[in-house]
Chains A and B, each alone.
Chain A
Amino acid sequence: MSLKQILGVAQRMGLQLFRSKWTIPYLILYPLFFIGLYWIGFSTSPVGESQTFLVGVINQDLGLSDEIKSLFHNETIMGNSSFTLYHSSDVLDKGFGIEFIDILANLTYSNITNAPHIFEVTQFEEESDATDKLFKRDLDILIVLSPNFSNTTLSILNRYWHNTFRFYLHEMIQLDFPTFPDLPTNINDSIRIIGDESYFNFKMAKSVLSIVIHEYQDLTTTFKGPGGSISIRMNKDYEVSIPKYSLFELSIPGLIAFGIIVQPSLISMFFCMEFRSNNTTFDRIRLAPSSGGVYIIGSILVQIPIMIGQTIILFLTSLMLGFNPQGDILIGFLIALTIFPFCLFLVYISTAFLSNEDVVGNVLGFGAPFIAFMSGAFIEIPKVILIPGIFPTSSGYPRDFLLWDFLPLTHTANALRQVLLYDFDFHLVLFDIFMSLFLSIIFLIFSLIIFSYLRFKRRG
């Protein structure tokens, strides 16, 4: 196998492809037509901003220690006009957990009038009751507030104004400021989030919740006011906004994923012409002293630029038609690349068995939308568990292996949606990116073995 042989195959196929009257129109017009059609149909249908997530809460918060409570009940301190402590004495008695749940239940979307609540909160006593509902998808997400939630919150608060407060206590009212045990440094560490990692609503709810927790922590630790006065504010009317999308925009990640796996149909139709039963041109390649690897690598070299080109056009078309991604478009593009090996799989598996371009066109023409549908590229599909609890997650509840998880496009579409629509952190989509690439490569290797055997090794 030499580079000259590989480039020879690539050059030949490239010349043929670009001399075909269908290639350029297909590459450019198809994405425009395909995404344009969605834009015409669904660009004026706003959805998404009114979704209410079903949140289960288990409040194990034991509240503040008695020492702290007594401090905040000290009339000398609380009667001092230079303090404005937001937390009511009731909250201080019962703990910050109750307050946090109350905040969650009252959060509304900021960008529409009469906005519905973001979270519909249900409290549970037993974790098993909540997880039953969670995994039946009667709940989107479950939050467990740990027994030291209040102390952690105050500890974090303490880190910011400890010195000021202690000085005041010592110098003004001759009291010792209590010392706190070694508590977590982040409020997240005292909140456990549980959910089904394969469920889109869970991921959405988790994303929104992470914003809320972050804001809660920030606001709790804010101190301001003249002359050493300290004001701790947690605004109960605090509003959170999630991006507002049209149905067209919500569909874009799935459409891009689908668009990418449709393009192998053209390549396959072109390739399979070499294997027509009455076409023995391919025998010349089989009889040449080059291995099947030369043909395969050469043909992949031709396909990669075409796939990249078409993916760029899919992204550009989406942007031109008004798609406004929240996340990094470049990361979205890199995620799209992870499905390329699966596209190559579609090319080689179809051309391994089929020798008629019309049949290939029909098979992939129906097959690609079917795969996209089963991958949830268009709509969320029902949960069919194959292997329960196989993937570990941070929540302690392992994720199930679902039927659709076999399809790399499931993961590509998920990752694209999370990054482009909701600006998820990279680590939140890492699992999907890995699965997309891993499964794609497995599929590709399988198809290459079959293709190589049927087209190069078998001799009748």
Chain B
Amino acid sequence: MANIIEVRNLKKYFGKGDKLVKAVDGISLEIRENEIFGFLGPNGAGKTTSLRMIIGLLRPDVGKITIMGQDPHKNGKELKRALGIIPQSLTFYDDLTVEENLWFLAKIYDIPKNEARERIDFLIARVGLTEKRKHLVRTLSGGLQRRLNLILGLIHDPTIILCDEPTPGLDPQSRVAVWEVLKDLPNQGKTVILTTHFMEEADRLSDRVAIIDQGKILVLDTPKKLKASIGEGDLVEFSLNRRDNLDDLAKALKTFNGIEDAYVSSGLIIIRALDVVSRLTRILNFIETQGWEVENMSIRSTSLEDVFINLTGRALRN
């Protein structure tokens, strides 16, 4: 697939002197046609700033951005029709109805009337807002408002969709509805750039993921390869009755035969091992002989969060 967006050495600093914040510090990447590209990182990592520079809302201090072969800061008008934005915040007029919001943007994008009507009907039905189309947006639930926020960015049928944290605070039903729409976009010939700090969202939706922290890209690859990069096996998390000397306990567990890795994250002991279930009895006995009691235990597969912890030594939510 050809590259649709290319970013070279992108930098954006805020403040001066002691208060200098390197929001984005030399990011370079390529985004391919018809893929969902995920930016994964904690809050303040530089995801939204990068996105705002890519779409031309923020001017970079240094670096070059090319979208479909054009500079968005020089050829902004030509590119505006190709870009659709689904911002993190809710960007609609809550004193207008669902339909009025969509019609307003259809007019701003100069979409012919019949085409706009078809597009509005299709999008409203796609996210299950048909019954609410005449309702004032302020009367809708948070989940339904988020769905409207999504389709407002798609009204002009853009080629590239920039989606900034699309599902924060959503109920599971609305989250799945949003994910289904996003997942389907590459099938319609769209490219999606997704920023999120939800590892599950990035994992489920993205074809490739860039993990970003403190303004820098730490790794960039498919979720599968990223997870494989930290080793094989499943993970087991232990919540213990005491949190003192957990690092020593982790070190001791790491020496066990068959255990690939053991570390502490957010007060939990996390062990990665092949065939972890068969080793559980021995691990539990060892923990209890060392004077701890296991309060809770869970087994799961390796996630992108583990990749992030492996790279930075801390959890995404921290």
Contacts and interface: CB of A to CB of B under 8 A. Distances in A.
Q: Do A and B come from one complex?
A: yes
A402 interface: no
Interface string A19-63: 110000000000000000000000000000000000000000000
Interface string B71-100: 001000100110101011111110110001
A287 B90 CA distance: 15
A285 interface: yes
A283 B95 contact: no
Contacts of A16: 93, 95-96
Interface stretch (B105-113, B126-134, B230-238, B252-260): B105-113
Contact of A289 (B58, B77, B103, B104): B77
B107 A278 contact: no
A2 B113 CA distance: 14
B26 interface: no
B108 A285 contact: yes
A20 B138 CA distance: 13
B294 interface: no
Nearest to B153: A284
Nearest to B152: A284
B8 to A, nearest CB: 19
A284 to B, nearest CB: 5
Contacts of B123: none
B63 interface: no
B86 to A, nearest CB: 10
B89 A279 contact: yes
B91 A281 contact: yes
B89 A280 contact: yes
B83 A287 contact: yes
A454 B266 CA distance: 44
A289 B91 contact: no
B56 interface: yes
A284 B85 contact: yes
Contact of A459 (B56, B95, B107, B108): B56
Contacts of A8: 103-104, 106-108
Nearest to B113: A4
B87 A283 contact: yes
A288 B106 CA distance: 10
Contact of B58 (A12, A281, A287, A459): A459
A281 B59 contact: no
B92 A288 contact: no
B92 A281 contact: yes
A111 interface: no
Interface residues of B, number: 32
B311 interface: no
B36 interface: no
B265 to A, nearest CB: 32
B218 interface: no
A172 interface: no
Contacts of B58: 459-460
Interface string A161-189: 00000000000000000000000000000
Contact of A5 (B56, B57, B81, B107): B107
Given A278-B89, A459-B59, A288 B96 contact: no
Contact of A283 (B59, B91, B105, B107): B91
Contact of B110 (A2, A11, A12, A19): A2
B260 to A, nearest CB: 44
B49 to A, nearest CB: 9
Contact of B100 (A15, A280, A283, A286): A15
B80 A289 contact: yes
Contact of A287 (B55, B92, B107): B55
Nearest to B96: A15
B85 A287 contact: yes
Interface in A270-307: 278-281, 283-290, 294
Contacts of A415: none
B108 to A, nearest CB: 4
A141 interface: no
A12 B57 contact: no
Contacts of B96: 12, 15-16
A7 B113 CA distance: 13
Contacts of B110: 2, 4-5, 289-290
B196 to A, nearest CB: 17
A286 B80 CA distance: 9
A421 interface: no
A160 B152 CA distance: 83
Contacts of A9: 104, 108
Nearest to A8: B107
Interface string A58-90: 000000000000000000000000000000000
Contact of B80 (A19, A280, A288): A288
Contact of B57 (A15, A286, A288): A286
A16 to B, nearest CB: 5
A281 B137 CA distance: 13
A294 B108 contact: yes
Given A8-B108, A284-B152, A286-B57, 16 more contacts: A8-B103, A8-B106, A8-B107, A11-B107, A15-B96, A19-B95, A279-B91, A280-B87, A280-B91, A281-B93, A283-B91, A284-B85, A287-B85, A289-B77, A294-B108, A460-B57
Complex A-B, nearest 6 residue pairs according to Cβ-Cβ distance, in ascending order: A8-B107, A289-B80, A281-B91, A459-B59, A288-B108, A12-B104
17 contacts: A4-B110, A5-B107, A7-B107, A8-B106, A9-B108, A12-B93, A16-B96, A279-B89, A280-B87, A281-B90, A283-B85, A284-B105, A287-B83, A288-B105, A288-B156, A289-B109, A459-B57
Interface of B: 52, 55-59, 73, 77, 80-81, 83, 85, 87-93, 95-96, 100, 103-110, 152, 156
